[in-house]
Structure 1
Amino acid sequence: MPFTRTTFTARRALPACAAALLLVLAGAGTTPAAPPPGTATVAAAPVPDRAEPDPQAALDAGTVARLDAAITAVMKEAGIPGVSVGLWIPGRGAYVSSFGVADRRDGAPLKPDMYSRIGSVTKTFTVTAVLQLVDRGLVGLDDPIAKYVDGVPGGEHVTVRQLAAMRSGLPDYTSDPKFLDALRADPHRAFTPRQLLGYAFAHPPDFAPNARWEYSNTNTVLLGLLVEKVSGQSLAAHLRERVFAPLGLDSTSLPTGSAFPDPHPQGYTTFSPDGSVVTATDWNPSWAWAAGAVVSDLEDLRAWVPALVDGRLLEPATQAERLRTAPVGVPGVGYGLGIARVDGWLGHNGELPGYETIAAGLPGSGVTLVVLVNSDIDRGGSLSTLVGRAVTRIATPEHVWNLPSPSQVGGDRR
């Protein structure tokens, strides 16, 4: 299949709602009980405010040609149906392009102005909301989660900070076989946050709080419940008011159902009872909720990344706490409070049935990278990482986005 390239065309903002989840980093390594001396705390310089891309401010033709060729080659090798890539480098220019198809049935091309389910990039929004409550004096980072959410095993010893840093020891509900069976049997069903926690709490803790790092979506679901308890709002409404609206993220939302705003691509997955390829486009994202159910688009993520990296919605001291990234057992990779560090990049990736995402920036430089893929059918590595690595090897060779293959949905979806 030839991969057609589509460059940016402006679109009016549509009301966003709708879906997604999951994972990020693979390989839960053993780390010290607290970030060791010298742990990276990155001070990020302010990044220019969001503006519509200037078609005349493209990267140089040679770099564009190399990026086109590299992305096309990865798509062919990995069987990627479609991918949108945004790369903004102050002083050099922008690269905003889509390749391949949004729908294999009719061959409709993928376009840069389409919405996407962004999976675990959602965690960056949820944790930001928690940290804003910290700034307002309504929550303490070292408060036990039991102060805000009842029914958590050992909750009097698990802190808000440990939940945000993936160091609580609480099992990941998406690794529970009963949860996986239920989701696979009916991906359109609605889950409540308490139902999700029930799957997790059916198992003993994986380790004592703060003993090491381990990625768990359970952590972020608990933080979503904390936000609701303290704010008196639904998480969707609170994010809209406190995180999305202040930055003008009009195309970003946390859905309460399976609605998916147009235009959007089909999302292809093998998370099905028999392992066949199906579309997950209209599956209910309630199983992801605070951990991965946000919908966004390329332009909103372009605006979000600089705000995430420079902490413009947080007090400086709180942002400094967020960026105390500790090792996760993978060379060059660390994790802070709802944010990852990957060879100098700060941000997050996401993976859920049908969609993969990268949203990251280089602190102090204003460089922003967004990758949106409409498949999670990985062949030898995360599709978004394959694209992100190919792009950064060319554009920022001193900082290459390179993550190990992420866990499959729920830990083992194949």
Structure 2
Amino acid sequence: MHFRTGSVGIAFMGTVLLQLVEEHKAGLDDPVSRWLPDLPHGRKITLRMLGDSTSGLHDYVTDPVFLKKLYADPWQHWTPEEVVGISLSHPLWYRPGTNWSYSHANFQLLGRILEKISGKPLDRLLRERVYRPLGLRNTVSNDTAVIPRPVLHAYDDERGLYEESTYFNPSWTTAPGAVLTQNICDLARSGRGVGAGELLSPKYFRTQLNPGTVGLGHPTGKCPASVCLPQTEDFHFGVGVIVKNGWVVQNPSFFGYAAVMAYEPHKRLSIAVSTTVGPNAPSGNTAQTVTERIAKLLDPQHPLTG
């Protein structure tokens, strides 16, 4: 059964960025103005800052006007120009590169730049550089709400009414071409491929796991604590991935769909979980809770939780 795994596409985009840097087609510290000359702050923000979410760009998902429109019509199709425009209507949370905060705008922009660097549409770029090498035959990007059959349905109560949310439109979540659906086998394979660095040289895999974000992530008064989390040795954001107690993780969550891919290198252990929201489910990503319990049983020396 197929389900949404949106932020797994962020891990794939981070991987492809580092591949292109390794091939000398771009530099991690190149300003984004090289490819997006009209982008405000583009001379101050680098490719690295988009990939590791240190750009300082406001996250449009925290904007109350955006949220009001989203909850009023979750079937609406959003363009990158619309959602990035919401981010740019706000001041930067901090000077680029000096802090860490999650912003969906980073990955909307990164997807566009990867297309400009490579000269290929993002969905084709990910197919050639990630899906095919990893053998992901049930991984598809759709810019609409379409999900390949058979479909694992989702349910959600974010709008106040417990309802089916399977075909809510995911266009706002990340860059067109990286709005993914997968099955559980492809999710597990994705975790192993990314988490073991199969698509990168050892040098650039080390960069993906720690591009310099440890120690960043302090609320500034502009950047809320909920998205400006402290980055420590035990928990930090790499280039498109989360590194938690040595595990390499992504944890997509979207209107009732929740999932986790997690890879632990000591035991070469890959865990993949997908859940949906029950009428009495606890808040947050319930797939994360299930994954943490499995990890504790299978690898007690390297638990996902402290």
| TM-score after normalising by structure 1 | 0.66
Q: Report if the CA contact (8 A) 1:345-1:362 is conserved.
A: yes
C-alpha displacement at 1:323, in angstroms?
1.5
Q: Which residue of 2 aligns with 1:192?
A: 79
In the other structure, the counterpart of 1:283 is 168
Choose the corresponding residue for 1:345, options 234, 247, 254.
247
Measured after TM superposition, the shift of residue 398 of structure 1 is 2.1
TM-fit CA distance, 1:170: 0.6
Hey, what does 2:220 align to over in structure 1?
none
Secondary structure, aligned partner of 2:214: strand
In structure 2, give the amino acid aligned to 1:395: L
C-alpha distance in structure 1 between counterparts of 2:79 and 2:249, whole Å: 27
Q: For the structure 1 residues 203 and 357, does the alpha-carbon distance in structure 2 shift closer, same or farther, using more than 3 Å as the test? A: same
Q: Which residue is equivalent to 2:183?
A: 297
Q: Give the Å deviation of 1:381.
A: 4.3
CA–CA separation in structure 1 for the residues paired with 2:257 and 2:189: 20
Partner residue in 1 for 2:204: 318
CA distance in 2, matches of 1:122, 1:271: 24
Structure 1 runs (4+) deviating above 4 angstroms are none
1:335 is matched with 237
CA contact (8 A) 1:265 1:374 kept: no
Unpaired runs of 5+ in structure 1? 1-113, 404-414
Q: Does 1:125 align with 2:12?
A: yes
* SS at structure 2 position matched to 1:305: helix
Shift of 1:330: 6.0
Query: Which amino acid is the alignment partner of residue 182 of structure 1?
Result: K
Matched position secondary structure for 2:251: strand
In structure 2, what is the Cα distance between the partners aligned to 1:190 and 1:312?
Answer: 35
1:359 aligns with 2:261: yes
Match of 1:203 in 2: 90
Range that drifts further, 382-391 or 354-363 = 382-391
In the alignment, which of 294, 300, 303 is matched to residue 400 of structure 1?
303
Structure 2 residue identity aligned to 1:374: T
Following superposition, the deviation at residue 122 of structure 1 comes to 2.0
**Structural RMSD (CA):** 2.0
Distance across 2 between alignment mates of 1:376 and 1:224 = 33
Q: How many residues align?
A: 288
Secondary structure of the equivalent of 1:285?
coil
**2:227 matched residue in structure 1:** none
1:8-47 matched pairs, under 5 angstroms: none
What code does the residue aligned with 1:313 have?
Answer: L
Q: What is the one-letter code of the residue matched to 2:214?
A: A
Q: Is the 8 A contact 1:170 1:216 kept in 2?
A: yes
Deviations 1:308-345 (A, max 9, x none): 12222122221121111624526631111111111221
Amino acid in structure 1 at the alignment position of 2:86: Y
Amino acid at match of 2:201: E
**What percent identity do the matched residue pairs reach?**
33
Q: Which moved more, 1:143-152 or 1:287-296?
A: 287-296
- Distance in 1 of aligned mates of 2:292 and 2:268: 19
Secondary structure of 1:227's match?
helix
Question: Does the 8 Å contact 1:388/1:402 carry over to 2?
Answer: no
The one-character-per-residue Cα deviations of 1:62-100 (angstroms, maximum 9, x if unpaired) are xxxxxxxxxxxxxxxxxxxxxxxxxxxxxxxxxxxxxxx
Alignment of structure 1 residues 379-390 onto 2, 5 Å: 379-390=282-293
Distance 1:183 1:380, change over 3 A: closer
Structure 1 residue 159: Cα displacement = 0.8
Name the structure with the higher strand share. 1
Contact 2:11 2:194 in 1 (8 A): yes
1:126–1:290 contact (8 Å) kept in structure 2 = no
Query: Are the equivalent residues in 2 in contact too, given 1:344–1:399 (CA < 8 A)?
Result: yes
Does the 8 Å CA contact 2:259/2:285 hold for their aligned counterparts?
Answer: no
CA contact (8 A) 2:14 2:208 kept: no
Secondary structure at 1:188's aligned position in 2? coil
CA distances 1:255-287 after superposition (whole Å, capped 9, x unpaired): 122111111221111232xx1112211122111
Are 1:374 and 2:276 an aligned pair? yes
Unpaired stretches in structure 2, ≥5 consecutive residues:
218-229
- Aligned AA for 2:296? R
